[in-house]
Structure 1
Amino acid sequence: MLYDILRPIIKVLFKILYKVKVTGLENLPNKDVAYIISGNHIHIWDPVFLAVQIKGRHLHFMAKDVLFKSKFLNWFLHKVYAIPVKREDNDIVAIKSAIKVLKNKEVLGLFPEGTRNKTDKKMLEPKGGLVLLATRMKVPVVPVGIRGEYKFRKPLIINYGKPIYLDKYYGKKLTSEDFVEICKKEIYPEIIRLKEM
């Protein structure tokens, strides 16, 4: 409920604070389809910027566990469907939570770089979780490119691409290294294209 109350308010605030331009919303799958939104990560507000654009659905975002340390933030982040994840480990609890989201035909947000990339020049080495979840749960990945500065009245652009289906990898035995290489081969080129549009 808190998510639904805040979404329209934050969306208006974004439009007041920044010159927002969004393209490709028509590429988002139908309401009965689970999918993963995945893009580059330039700022702490990226998950919020993505979440407020999606109509009629909640975006469950994986976020680093240190954000959940205070009682208030722990309560708030759970209310807005954030999933705590330990970035240094293979966090089985976080993976199970993400699988549950996708089983329920909901939308999962995941930054494959695993952290913010402030250079805006080169994508960081991806983590394997994105491809692991997409292939195991047989769901498409919607690539996203984010560009701009979170500064007053500066342009802030988000481009959604067409869903990427990794069906040729379904049912195959894949290693952690495979997950990383598939992400670099199948997902990263489209994210890079979208963020440079």
Structure 2
Amino acid sequence: MSAAPDEPSVTGLVLAAGAGRRMGKPKATVIGTDGVPWIVRTVRSVLAGGCDRVLVVLGSGHERARELLAQVRPGAPDGGLVRVVVAQRWTEGMGESLRAGLEAVLADADAESRPPAAVLVQLVDLPDVGADVIGRVTRVAGPSVLARAAYQGVPGHPVLIGVDHLGPLAATLSGDVGAKHYLASRDVRIVECGDLAGGADVDHRFEN
């Protein structure tokens, strides 16, 4: 469900580039116990939660992940709602994946009729975080807003980044250094979502 015309537009950014060494396979290719690939579930949740489009950052296992993404909207074209970017330096860490994604969002914004007011960053390995959490976080979107979900007071994902912060944040990213330091030095709105999900990432097969 995309934003209404009078609401801020939000672009979803799904990070799914890692090798998933503890999982034993790239998390972008993991199939849930219900038969739904994590990457498909995540993209569907991000779209249903209010994002107008989703950019998926892939790395390890990107060819298989692309195949799985065809399931996002079976029987219908995606209408440009879902785009894939392969982070060429994904092996260097999440910071490089996030930077690749933010740079792609900034490049796309110039060509969009309705540029995003914010970007919602979500990880692929949070299968219990659904559209209800995404929707609660996107409701506070704005160009200067920084916000993130929290679970029983513990900060987690998704993280909402207003467009005013995209360039400055991207300039700080490298290797395995993500947005943590940037967020720590700024006022971040906490959106409590512990009543909706646990927010814990899944690192091992037996947790799936």
Give TM class, smaller chain.
Answer: 0.3 to 0.5
- Structure with higher helix content: 1
For CA contacts below 8 A with separation 6 or more, give which structure has more relative contact order. Answer: 1
Question: TM-score, structure 1 length as denominator?
Answer: 0.39
